[in-house]
A and B are shown apart, each in its own frame.
Chain A
Amino acid sequence: MFDLFSDIFTYRDNALTRIDPRVKLLIALAALIAVVTSARPVLPLAVFVLCLGTIAALRIPAKLVALRLAAPFSTVAILVVIQTFVTGTTPLFSLTLGGWTLTAKAEGLRQGLLLGARVLGALSIVLLLGIATPAHRIFQALRGFRISKEWVEIAILMYRYIFVLMDRAGDLAAAQRLRLGYTAPRRALASFTALAGATVVHSFEQAGRTHDAMRLRGYRGTMPFGPLPALGRRDRGLLALLLTVIAAAYGFFAWGITG
């Protein structure tokens, strides 16, 4: 989990990281809506292939991508199966499981597959966004969208100190393991709660010291934010172009509108 929470790729310099985060968020949102409302699986699958292709082109390790996708995939698999067996009317096949007969239905399966395609498409969009945009740029964009300043302020502090606390918790867990803290079940539970408790205590102490340091640099209860840069012509052009492409693809693939 911790290894997964790596943002090293977002700090690379490439065509995607150079785009203004507001533009990226808007495009991602438009694409998400298109994928989620798509009535046919073609568009979501096309988006999936496109996004994964881009991720591959950015040379993100496949293992990381696979790890990030593994968990949601299994959830989706479960839901597709549940839908197949619960919804719909036309029976496809039945199987007996421990005395209980389950009937798969065609509509359910179709619906399930559409759902699966949507999840793949939507997930790949967010994955790409998260790989091409560092957290602080996203917070900046959210500020541009008039998200509450308090929310952004807490988010900035949280994001930064997750890494600090992670370091300390990692050391603590290692120290516990070295002193056989996880050898017996009961001891493991005690060690685990102590680890969590110590993390919370650290967070309180760190909050006091951080506030001291902020105060010494003039903090008076509200984090000052710099002005947001105006959208460049290239970014505006890109936004217009991609929104048009998404709208056209949406009309064509998602609903079969051919004009």
Chain B
Amino acid sequence: MRAVDVQGVSFTYDDGTEALAGIDFRVEEGEFVAVLGSNGSGKTTLIQLLVGLLKAKSGRIAIGGREIGSLTAEELYQRVGLVFQNPNDQLFAATVEEDCAFGPRNLNLPEAEVQRRVTESLAAVAALPLRERAIHHLSFGEQKRVSLAGVLAMRPAVLILDEPTAGLDPAGEAQMMQLLKKLNREERMTVILATHSVDMLPLFANRIYVLDRGRVLQQGPSEEIFCHQEMIVRAKLRLPYVSRLMYEMKRHDGVPIDGLPLTIGEARAQLLELIPKEMILPGIEEIGP
């Protein structure tokens, strides 16, 4: 069964801005899909349509096989959860625990179950020690993780995140992506993330949708997407830096590189092939992939 099925959806804001022009968007259960697009490409609109904050003017949206309009709010919000880009939009309670308990309490769950969900969701984002803390005393990275925990406590089948790594430092960015990967691989949670940062994606996403001015330019696994250098540039995006380096070496210096490596690991493997053996000192130091 498809987790998310969007067919021919268009959306125009009241001020006349056409945000989406007949897009198709499909996500299978258990997939990790990235919606890649520049500012103003329509990815936030798409996300808001998926969670019912906006209503499509035309087209069809189904979540878990059911038309979005036929779901009650309670059903919908246990199927999809949205983590906002700015944690301040989401964290309104005074303490971490109260904020995480908000969703389960709205579902009228017994208090023991509420507490269990709070504990589990905080543990899932490595934020259990923050439980009693005041929200306004948390760092930005902590706020981001707690806002993710608040959505996880709803136990949504599909987790949607708007720019989950925006504003995080490199360590925070890596931690956030690892958390999402774990949720996807271990908890079998379907993850959709909207972003314009490309460097991390090849490591995590099964599939990428490239959006530009309300249209899907291309979709497919990251190897396919990043082969199309011109399309990427047209969407006001760029290749991951390591791919860019390899691309330039291939194009300008004629270095014989197969395809286009997307991660540091792939690039390293290719370069090791090309560099004369005598220049390589094996086992001097381990460098991560």
Chain A residues packing against B (C-beta within 8 Å)? 7-8, 11, 134-136, 139, 156-157, 159-161, 163-164, 206, 209-210, 212-220, 223-227
Contact = CB atoms under 8 A, between A and B. Distances in A.
Contacts, number: 87
14 contacts: A135-B94, A136-B94, A139-B94, A157-B92, A160-B93, A164-B88, A209-B84, A212-B53, A213-B82, A213-B90, A217-B103, A217-B106, A220-B106, A224-B108
B90 A156 contact: no
Interface stretch (B132-140, B177-185, B258-266): B132-140
Tell me if A's interface is mostly helix, strand, loop or mixed. helix
Contacts of A163: 136
B209 interface: no
Contact of A217 (B53, B95, B114, B150): B150
A206 B111 contact: no
Interface in B76-116: 77, 81-82, 84, 86, 88-95, 98, 101-103, 105-108, 111, 114
Nearest to B132: A11
B196 to A, nearest CB: 20
A217 B117 CA distance: 14
Nearest to B106: A218
Nearest to B81: A216
A136 B95 contact: yes
B90 to A, nearest CB: 4
Interface of B: 51, 53, 73-74, 77, 81-82, 84, 86, 88-95, 98, 101-103, 105-108, 111, 114, 132-137, 150-151, 154
A136, A217, A219 interface centre (most CB from chain B within 10 Å):
A217
Given A217-B106, A217-B154, A218-B107, A160 B91 contact: yes
Contacts of B105: 224-226
Nearest to A219: B106
B133 A11 contact: yes
Contacts of A139: 94
A214 B106 CA distance: 10
B136 A11 contact: no
Contacts of A7: 134
Contact of B98 (A136, A212, A214, A219): A136
Contacts of B102: 214, 217, 219, 223-224
A167 to B, nearest CB: 9
